[in-house]
Amino acid sequence: MPSFPDGRHGGTVVPLDRPNVDTDAIFPKQYGRSTARSGYGPVLFDNWRYLDPGDLDSDHSRRRPNPDFPLNRPELRGATVLLARENFGCGSSREHAVWALRDQGFRAVLAPSFGDIFRQNCPLNGVAALVLAPAAVDRLFALAAAAPLRVEIDVLQRRVTAGGESFSFALSARETLLLTEDIDWIGATLAQRERIADFEQRRLAAQPWLARTWPE
């Protein structure tokens, strides 16, 4: 099931007011001993989320939550949108970081900038990594500080709406397709069959020698 089946998603925001959150903070390395894509939600932001350390054998439901960490605020339970600061997802390329976000229930991350590989991994796993202008992110943090904030995201119109205000973002056609259809990167490429065929025809018309066959 795609995260944005009709191009839209609405959800409550978890404000994470920290810059340069790396993938080890999102998903600590000691849990990355499996290639399964599910079951990682309870260890998302593990070192900040709990007051006691955990390991592969921990029963995370029995660990002590950190009441000062925003993900643990009762009024934000079930939130599906993460609001972050610049360079979110920097560091190593571990895809587990995105799997943990998705498994926790997040469908979008809003930030001024992202680690490059992290941002590429997001739409492949049903999470929208949306770059907003720094002033827009500041405004959303201000709104989230006043009261629990709900946002509406439209990936077709490239808009985030919150508190009667609207903010724009850029999104490629391929990212949009990955978020709105139940396909992977190969499927997104194959969806462009007509454009690919048209390119090949124009390329061969301009460079006909490329079609030449050579004797064995």
Residue 55 Rama label (left phi>0; alpha psi -120 to 50; beta)? beta
- Strands (DSSP E) along 134-177, which ranges? 150-154, 159-162, 165-168
What is residue 44's predicted lDDT score, i.e. its pLDDT?
Answer: 97
The amino acid that residue 16 corresponds to is L
Distance CA 128, CA 198 (A): 30
Q: Encode pLDDT of 80-133 as tens digits.
A: 999 999 999 999 888 999 999 999 999 999 999 999 999 999 999 999 999 999
> Whats the size of the chain, residue-wise?
216
Q: Are strands 165-168 and 8-15 parallel, antiparallel or unpaired?
A: unpaired
Grade residue 186 by pLDDT with cuts at 50, 70 and 90.
low
- Strands (DSSP E) along the chain, which ranges? 8-15, 81-83, 108-111, 128-131, 150-154, 159-162, 165-168
Encoded tokens for 61: 């439901």
Question: Which DSSP symbol is given to 55?
Answer: -
Q: For 27-32, what is the mean pLDDT?
A: 90
Read off the pTM: 0.85
Per-domain residue ranges of the chain? 8-184
Are residues 100 and 32 in contact, defined by beta-carbon separation less than 8 angstroms? no
Distance CA 79, CA 159 (A): 19
Q: Which of 118, 144, 138 is nearest to 129 (CA)?
A: 118
Could you say which architecture CATH assigns to the domain 8-184?
Alpha-Beta Barrel (3.20)
